[in-house]
Amino acid sequence: MAYVQGQTGEWEMVIGLEVHAQVTSNAKLFSGAATEFGAAPNAQVSLVDAAFPGMLPVINGKCVEQAVRTGLGLQAEINLVSVFDRKNYFYADLPPGYQISQYKNPIVGKGEIVLDLADGTSRTIGITRLHLEQDAGKSMHDQSPNETYVDLNRAGVALMEIVSEPDMRSGEEAGAYLKKLRAIMRYLGTCDGNMEEGSMRCDVNLSMRRKGDTKLGTRCEIKNVNSIRFVQQAIEFESHRQVELLEGGNVVKQETRLWDTTKGETRAMRSKEEAHDYRYFPDPDLLPLKLDQKWVNDIKMTLPELPDQKKDRFIRDYGLKSYDAMVLVAERASADFFEAVAKGRDGKLAANWVTGEFFGALNKLGKTVNDSPVSAQALGELVDLISNQTISNRIAKDVFEAMLETGKGAAALVEEKGLRQVTDLGSIEKSIDEILTAHADKVAEYKSGKDKLFGFFVGQVMKTTGGKANPAVLNELLKKKLNS
């Protein structure tokens, strides 16, 4: 738990997050228009989305299923009866003048997310609820000096609003929460979690209180922060702003604020200044949404293994360290890649290679697991060569570099470059004898007690063998010779 150091003492952050996650579906929540990202303006708009007179909503069953899947993935209660309400307000990109949402009776109730923190501890964050609602369109304010442009492609796209309890105490925890939530949804296939394309957006509720206080302070809501990094920066900025206000004897005004990415600060939103009164009421164009318990159970049966379960299994079955397992399960693609490498091999060795050289290379190349230049099969082959002592771990690193450069297989490269490890006793013994003869003085020094010279002899032998001598065999033989 990180406290903010003020002039007068330490302050604690109280953070709750509201995440809007775009449901992965072909069509919108209440219309048959497409949801694909990047279409020409107003090309993916139906008469329903644009709220033409007499148009009516019909719900997309897939979106209901996705919300239930997500709820199950968050260990949450699924409400068999939920209600769609209208949230009434005027805005240029909200064609009907109301958003169809769920207010009093959401489809998913209380759940939880377990966060694994960098220091190895874990924290459970409560999920208050998850509900289905429509996205609004997009307003563009910077295209013309006196007009706002409106594109309705997003209008009506299904969103899951996932509300957390105010359980987080630092920007790091908020970041971990978002990463974990995103991982769970990606595992489930319910949201692609792509924050750059806006398919996952976050509102941050933040208040400050003196360390030790149990009463909550006045909170501000920071709207639409569109990357995990910005969420953490916004929390950092906003917590200090609030502490300064409070320590200066001022009050924090409950308001909606905007994260300004260029200035790196939050500021009050003008358009949200007035108090809202959304006049929620059940949408009379829709009937209550009723789910069958058996249907929910069937979905539960088809859920994939989720990050927490996978992590436990990796520790159990592959003997991984908790930290490595956590890193590997953070993305489903990484976990799948690891499993493909580890299958039938030394799990620990595979994990070292995936989280070490492999991730390092991807990072350097700016690539992801999915477009990696080295396949899991190829990396597995390399691991095999280490395991069966064809090459040493050190040589393997060179081979891996060559694999990245040439795209060739590990075995082929070892043969081509003659990197096969020498385990032949006779030939190693011959090299040792040559070195010991050439450095008789050093041998004498060693024998008189300068143990450290052992490394020197190893190095010299390796040099003459081009690093290919099996280190274990070399060590054993060398020791024997020097001590004889």
Partner 1 sequence: MSIDQTTVVKIAHLARLKIPTEEQKQVAGELNKILEWITQLDEVDVTAVEPMSSVNDVPLRWRDDIVTDGDKMADIMTNAPAKTADFFTVPKVVE
Partner 2 sequence: MSDLTDISVTEALVGLAGKKFSAVELAKAHIAAMESARALNAFITETPKLAMKQAIESDARRAAGRAGAMDGIPLGIKDLYCTKDVRTTAASHILGEFTPTYESTVTQKLFDAGCVMLGKTNLDEFAMGSSNITSYFGPAISPWSGKDPVKANRKLVPGGSSGGSSAAVAGRFAMAATGTDTGGSIRQPASFTGIVGMKPTYGRCSRWGIVAFASSLDQAGPMTRTVADAALMLRVMAGFDSKDSTSVDQAVPDFVTALGTSIKGMKIGIPREYRIDGISAEIDNLWQKGAAMLRDAGAEIVEISLPHTKYSLAVYYIIAPAEASSNLARYDGVRYGLRVPGENLINMYENTRAEGFGKEVRRRILIGTYVLSAGYYDAYYLKAQKVRRCIRNDFEEAFKKCDAILTPTAPSTAFAIGEKQDDPIQMYLNDVFTVPLNLVGLPGISVPVGLGSDGLPLGLQLIGRAFDEMTLFKAASALEKAANFNHKPPFMAGT
- 270 vs 452, which CB is nearer to partner 1? 270
Residue 145 in the binding site for partner 1 (CB under 8 A): yes
Q: How far is CA 54 from CA 44, 114, 150, in A?
A: 19, 46, 22
How many Å apart are CA 84 and CA 81, to the nearest integer? 10
Instruction: Give me 481's structure tokens.
Output: 């010779």
User: With contact defined as beta carbons under 8 Å apart, do 328 and 352 qualify?
Assistant: no
How many Å apart are CA 272 and CA 424, to the nearest integer? 78
Instruction: Give me 479's structure tokens.
Output: 């020791």
How many Å apart are CA 370 and CA 375, to the nearest integer? 9
From the list 404, 410, 389, the residue with the least C-alpha distance to 346 is: 389
DSSP category for residue 142: S
Residue 53 in the binding site for partner 2 (CB under 8 A): yes
Residue 43 in the binding site for partner 2 (CB under 8 A): no
Shortest Cβ distance from residue 222 to partner 1 (Å)? 13
How many Å apart are CA 439 and CA 95, to the nearest integer? 88
User: With contact defined as beta carbons under 8 Å apart, do 226 and 198 qualify?
Assistant: yes
Q: 7 touches which of partner 2, partner 1, none (CB within 5 to 8 A by kind)?
A: none
- The residues in 290-319 that bind partner 2, with binding defined as CB under 8 A, are none
- 53 vs 449, which CB is nearer to partner 1? 53
- 53 vs 212, which CB is nearer to partner 2? 53
Which one of 77, 112, 126, 139 is in contact with partner 1 (CB under 8 A)?
139
User: Which residues are within 8 A (CB) of 47 and not within 5 positions of it... i.e. 6 or more apart?
Assistant: 55
Which one of 14, 15, 33, 383 is in contact with partner 1 (CB under 8 A)?
33
Which one of 6, 16, 71, 96 is in contact with partner 2 (CB under 8 A)?
96
- 55 vs 114, which CB is nearer to partner 2? 55
Helix, strand or coil for residue 133?
strand
Shortest Cβ distance from residue 137 to partner 2 (Å)? 10
User: With contact defined as beta carbons under 8 Å apart, do 373 and 404 qualify?
Assistant: yes
From the list 101, 102, 93, 88, the residue with the least C-alpha distance to 50 is: 93
Helix, strand or coil for residue 205?
strand
Instruction: Give me 190's structure tokens.
Output: 């319910």
Residue 277 in the binding site for partner 2 (CB under 8 A): yes
Shortest Cβ distance from residue 257 to partner 1 (Å)? 11
Q: What is the dihedral of CA 367, 368, 373, 375, to 10 degrees?
A: 170
Residue 198 in the binding site for partner 1 (CB under 8 A): no
Question: Which phi and psi (to 5°) does residue 16 adopt?
Answer: -125, 145
Shortest Cβ distance from residue 333 to partner 1 (Å)? 24
Residue 440 in the binding site for partner 2 (CB under 8 A): no
Which one of 47, 80, 333, 444 is in contact with partner 1 (CB under 8 A)?
47
Residue 80 in the binding site for partner 1 (CB under 8 A): no
> Residues 95-134: x/- map of binding to partner 1 (CB under 8 A)?
----------------------------------------
Residue 392 in the binding site for partner 1 (CB under 8 A): no
How many Å apart are CA 107 and CA 101, to the nearest integer? 11
Shortest Cβ distance from residue 193 to partner 1 (Å)? 19
> Residues 365-404: x/- map of binding to partner 2 (CB under 8 A)?
----------------------------------------
Name the site residues for partner 1 (rule: CB under 8 A): 25-27, 31-34, 40-50, 58-64, 90, 92, 139-141, 143-152, 258, 269-271, 277, 279, 281-282, 284, 286-290
Name the site residues for partner 2 (rule: CB under 8 A): 47, 50-59, 86, 88, 90, 92, 95-98, 148, 150, 277, 279-281, 284-287
